[in-house]
């Protein structure tokens, strides 16, 4: 059989290699896993990793195998940097450099738990040792993220040892057991998998069209452009489990008869590019990419392409134009890209997360996959949970879980005792879902019925202090900047909407503005060229549907009920809370505050400009918004 560095000539080779890796694996060996995902790295986990590596090096004791390794995102970014110690799967949160010696001495070498760095439940005060005991993790169902935080993404050996490329081996197995391309497509179709990139298109159906399309070569493409603000699902997958994406692509390429592939990665993701590059090189070396994969006669290779840095480049036709070296601008899709895409050839484009779902489906079967989720949305979905929620991070849940479960059970609810107001799903052109709908199940169709969408899985939680007009304006402003400007309605219409929303948030709204917004919304949906423009009004239309009175209060009473729009509410000093310390009086830039020392102060509304300095500086929270 092959050993490291030599090519696998058959699926059997791969199986034997895995057996060899597992035989070598010592479950008692001490291992430290440091998260090097986006969130943890931002909080300094690279330094933590460095300290552990040094400790491991200096620890020259032969009898004890000690390993420090980096992993992709664990998901619980709120509590990062995250460090996990094996054996025992002991989970430490908020670890900084100074904590390393203690963890090393006590936990790694001593096998004792460092209590103070464990997760502690706020309500009960109980600590959790392993992720399983933490509500954030226990309610999740990790299929796509199964390897994230567990394996070292730069090591193909770890991926293989964990069952990686077994799905590919199943597909391209020995002659007798090989799956025909049709069988692969059938399996994916039966699983009910739908595209995770936004549209929710049935993946099996797309593959079939790509297989049936005439023309060679056929292209297999992974969409890793991920331009939604705040989203990092695809990034975490590419960084944390790049082989899973590749394995999915190789299987898909075999199914449709494609020999060339591209991974289109957002330019701002250097670590994703690095890990994917390493994965591709390793896969080539092992004979999992390139000519005659696993001796099956099937050949396929992948190249990485860096995105052009625009949100619209994630749109399928713009992405393909960009791959061709042209301006990343959408074109009409009256002829689908599976028939005529990149270079006018049949092209199969799927989202990164869609691809990563393929290996588990092939390995465990369509029925297994379809056992998760709802009638028409199978499997799980990864969400990036951000905004006014305690546990921000990356979560993977079965389709059909309710918004309440995601936001409150996993997300831990709203911080600072505030009330939940709405959740925005689906990325910049998604919609806002109000509190009344918290018990709705999250799947493709239900979210659409609620006037929002699944999108790529962004979930932004908003509390009672959030002004919905302001929110709509924020997203419309984003889309205005990201519109490519090719077609009239999107280019001109979004700018007009933004103009109106800006006026409303400044208290300059007029009767008729709401009608105009709705007219523009319909116009965009009907006439814009690509989905960016077609859905650009959703943030406005969905907030108009559920929070119309908030718009009206802005327009008619020049008041912002959430007290977020500057100038549309007033600051007042609560006489019971004011101690007369005088800080606000001294800090007010326009001398609008008067009062004697140790006596309650007052704000003169005529002079006040609403800058909010007093609100920020009062040590007793005596300045309130009214």
Partner 1 sequence: MPTVTIDGKPYQAQLGETILQVARRGGIWIPTLCYHPAVEPYAACRICVVEIDRGGWWQVVTSCNYPIRRDLTVRVNSERAVRARRGVMELLLARCPESPELRAIAARMGVDGTPYPTVTEAQRNCILCGLCVRVCDERIGASAIARVGRGVERSVAAPFRMPSEDCIGCGACAEICPVGTIVVRMHEEEVEISPFKNRVKLKHCAECGRPIGSELVHKALADRGGPTLVELLATEQFCPRCKRKQLAKEICTRHALRDEPASRGA
Ligand X SMILES: Cc1cc2nc3c(=O)[nH]c(=O)nc-3n(C[C@H](O)[C@H](O)[C@H](O)COP(=O)(O)O)c2cc1C
Where do contacts with ligand X occur on this chain (CB under 6 A)?
A: 195-199, 201, 223, 225-227, 311-312, 314-316, 349-351, 354, 456, 530-532
Q: At what angle do helices 233-240 and 242-256 cross, to 10 degrees?
A: 90
* 480 lines the binding site for partner 1 (CB under 8 A): yes
Question: Could you say whether residue 481 binds partner 1 (CB under 8 A)?
Answer: yes
Structure token digits, residue 105: 């001495």
Q: What is the dihedral of CA 37, 41, 45, 49, to 10 degrees?
A: 70
Nearest to 187 by CA among 210, 172, 207: 207
Element (H, E) at 224: strand 219-224
Query: Of ligand X, partner 1, ligand SF4, none, which one does residue 570 interact with (CB within 5 to 8 Å by kind)?
Result: none
Query: Between 316 and 452, whose beta carbon lies closer to ligand X?
Result: 316
Under the binding rule (CB under 8 A), the answer on residue 516 touching partner 1 is: yes
Nearer to ligand X, 286 or 311 (CB): 311
Q: Is 483 in the site for partner 1 (CB under 8 A)?
A: yes
**Strand runs labelled E in 301-448:** 301-306, 347-351, 380-387, 393-398, 420-425, 431-434
> Least separation, in Å, of the C-beta of 460 and ligand SF4?
22
From the list ligand X, partner 1, ligand SF4, none, which binds 492 (C-beta under 5 to 8 Å, kind-based)? partner 1
Q: Which is nearer to ligand SF4, 95 or 490 (CB)?
A: 490
CB 422 within 8 A of CB 432: yes
Instruction: Show the binding pattern over residues 435-474: x = contacts partner 1 (CB under 8 A), - = does not.
Output: ----------------------------------------
With CB under 8 A as the contact rule, the residue among 97, 492, 518, 564 that binds partner 1 is 492
Of 287, 328, 333, 332, which Cα lies nearest the Cα of 305? Answer: 328
In 3-state terms the chain splits into helix, strand, coil percentages (rounded to 5) of 45, 15, 40
Distance CA 462, CA 468 (A): 9
Quote the DSSP letter at residue 141.
-
Which lies closer to partner 1 via its Cβ, residue 184 or residue 476? 476
Region near partner 1 per CB under 8 A, out of 337-345, 370-378, 515-523, 564-572: 515-523
Closest listed residue to residue 38, CA positions, set 305, 253, 379, 270: 270
Closest to ligand X by CB, 157 vs 228, is 228
Q: Which partner, ligand SF4, ligand X, partner 1, none, binds residue 213 by CB below 5 to 8 Å per kind?
A: none
3-state secondary structure of 458: strand
Q: How far is the CB of 458 from ligand SF4 (least distance, A)?
A: 18
- Cis peptide upstream of residue 332 (ω within 30 degrees of 0): no
Output b/e per residue, 139-161; b: 16+ Cβ within 10 A. bbbbbbbbbbbbbbbbbbbbbbb
Residues paired with 402 in a beta bridge: 441
Among 99, 157, 482, 513, binds partner 1 (CB under 8 A): 482
The answer to whether 344 contacts partner 1 (rule: CB under 8 A) is no
Using alpha carbons only, give the angle 311, 315, 317 rounded to the nearest 5 degrees. 130
Contact between 603 and 593 under an 8 Å Cβ cutoff? The reply is: yes
Q: What x-and-dash track marks residues 524-563 binding partner 1 by CB under 8 A?
A: --xxxx----------------------------------
Q: Which does 49 bind (CB under 5 to 8 A by kind): ligand X, ligand SF4, partner 1, none?
A: none
Shortest Å, Cβ 492 to partner 1 = 4
Residue 196 or 473: the one with the smaller Cβ distance to ligand X is 196
Instruction: Tell me if 485 contacts partner 1 by CB under 8 A.
Output: yes
The listed partner (ligand SF4, ligand X, partner 1, none) that binds 521, CB under 5 to 8 Å by sort, is none
User: Given candidates 488, 591, 607, 609, which one binds partner 1 under the rule CB under 8 A?
Assistant: 488
Q: Which residues bind partner 1 (CB under 8 A)?
A: 310, 312, 327, 331-332, 334-335, 480-489, 491-496, 499, 516, 519-520, 523, 526-529
């Amino acid at each position: 059989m092959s050993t490291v560095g030599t090519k696998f000539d058959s699926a059997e080779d791969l199986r034997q290699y895995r057996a060899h890796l597992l035989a070598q694996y010592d479950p008692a060996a001490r291992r430290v896993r440091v998260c090097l995902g986006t969130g943890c790295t931002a909080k300094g986990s690279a330094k933590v990793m460095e300290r552990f590596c040094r400790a491991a090096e200096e620890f020259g004791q032969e009898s004890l195998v000690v390993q420090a390794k980096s992993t992709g995102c664990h998901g619980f970014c709120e509590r990062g940097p995250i460090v996990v110690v094996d054996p025992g799967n002991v989970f430490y949160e908020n670890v900084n450099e100074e904590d390393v010696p203690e963890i090393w001495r006590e936990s790694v070498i001593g096998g004792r738990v460092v209590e103070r760095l464990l997760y502690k439940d706020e309500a009960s005060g109980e600590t959790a040792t392993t992720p399983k005991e933490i509500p954030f993790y226990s309610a999740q169902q990790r299929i796509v993220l199964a390897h994230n935080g567990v394996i070292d993404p730069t090591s193909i050996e770890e991926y293989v040892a964990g069952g990686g490329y077994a799905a590919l081996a199943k597909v391209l197995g020995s002659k007798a057991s090989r799956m025909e391309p049709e069988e692969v497509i059938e399996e994916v179709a039966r699983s009910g998998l739908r595209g995770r990139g936004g549209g929710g298109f049935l993946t099996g159906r797309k593959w079939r069209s790509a297989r049936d399309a005439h023309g060679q070569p056929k292209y297999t493409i992974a969409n890793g452009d991920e331009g939604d603000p705040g989203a990092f699902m695809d990034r975490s997958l590419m960084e944390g489990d790049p082989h899973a994406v590749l394995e999915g692509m190789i299987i898909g390429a075999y199914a449709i008869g494609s020999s060339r592939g591209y991974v289109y990665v957002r330019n701002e993701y250097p670590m994703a590019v690095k890990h994917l590059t390493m994965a591709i090189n390793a896969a080539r070396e092992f004979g999992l990419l390139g000519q005659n994969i696993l001796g099956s006669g099937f050949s396929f290779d992948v190249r990485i392409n860096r995105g052009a840095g625009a949100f619209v480049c994630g749109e399928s036709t713009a992405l393909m134009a960009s791959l061709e070296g042209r301006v990343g601008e959408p074109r009409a899709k009256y002829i689908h890209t599976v028939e005529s895409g990149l270079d006018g050839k049949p092209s199969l484009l799927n989202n990164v997360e869609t691809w990563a779902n393929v290996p588990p489906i092939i390995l465990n079967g369509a029925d297994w996959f379809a056992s998760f989720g709802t009638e028409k949305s199978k499997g799980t979905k990864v969400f990036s949970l951000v905004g006014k929620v305690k546990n921000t991070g990356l979560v993977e849940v079965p389709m059909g879980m309710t918004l309440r479960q995601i936001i409150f059970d996993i997300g831990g609810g709203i911080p600072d005792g505030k009330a939940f107001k709405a959740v925005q799903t689906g990325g910049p052109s998604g919609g806002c879902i109000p509190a009344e709908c918290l018990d709705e199940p999250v799947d493709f169709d239900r979210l659409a019925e609620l006037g929002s969408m699944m999108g790529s899985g962004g979930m932004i939680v908003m509390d009672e202090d959030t002004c919905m007009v302001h929110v709509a304006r924020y997203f419309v402003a984003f889309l205005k900047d990201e519109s490519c400007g090719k077609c009239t309605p999107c280019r001109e219409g979004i700018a007009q909407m933004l103009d109106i929303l800006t006026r409303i948030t400044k208290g300059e709204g007029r009767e008729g503005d709401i009608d105009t917004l709705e007219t523009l919304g319909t116009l965009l949906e009907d006439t814009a060229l690509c989905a960016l423009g077609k859905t650009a009004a959703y943030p406005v239309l969905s907030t108009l549907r559920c929070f119309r009175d908030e718009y009206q209060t802005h327009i008619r009473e020049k008041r912002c009920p959430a007290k977020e729009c500057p100038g549309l509410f007033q600051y007042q000093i609560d006489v019971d809370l004011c101690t007369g310390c005088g800080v606000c009086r001294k800090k007010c830039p326009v001398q609008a505050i008067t009062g004697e020392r140790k006596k309650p102060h007052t704000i003169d509304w005529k002079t006040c400009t609403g800058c909010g300095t007093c609100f920020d500086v009062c040590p007793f929270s005596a300045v309130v918004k009214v």
